């Protein structure tokens, strides 16, 4: 009887741990959002540089 109760408590703790470990932490989500922000900023700056280079090369052709 006592052994069964201990087994049940152990199983409940394992289930609780599994539920908790399946979720992302706030730190992990923050890091992902930060990386996405850096990538977006880099892409917008890169496209701006490309368009400036095109304008400059078009001016130099004439």
- The per-residue DSSP string of the chain comes to -HHHHHHHHHHHHHHHHHHHHTSPPHHHHHHHHHHHHHHHHHHHHHHHHHHHHHHHHHHHH-
Question: What are the tens digits of pLDDT across the range 27-61?
Answer: 999 999 999 999 999 999 988 889 999 999 988 88
The region of weakest confidence among 3-12, 17-26, 30-39 is 17-26
């Amino acid at each position: 009887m006592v052994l069964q109760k201990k087994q049940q408590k152990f199983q409940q703790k394992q289930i609780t741990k599994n539920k908790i470990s399946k979720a992302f932490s706030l730190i992990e989500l923050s890091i992902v959002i930060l990386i996405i922000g850096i990538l977006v900023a880099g892409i917008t700056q890169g496209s701006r540089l490309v368009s400036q280079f095109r304008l400059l090369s078009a001016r130099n052709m004439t």
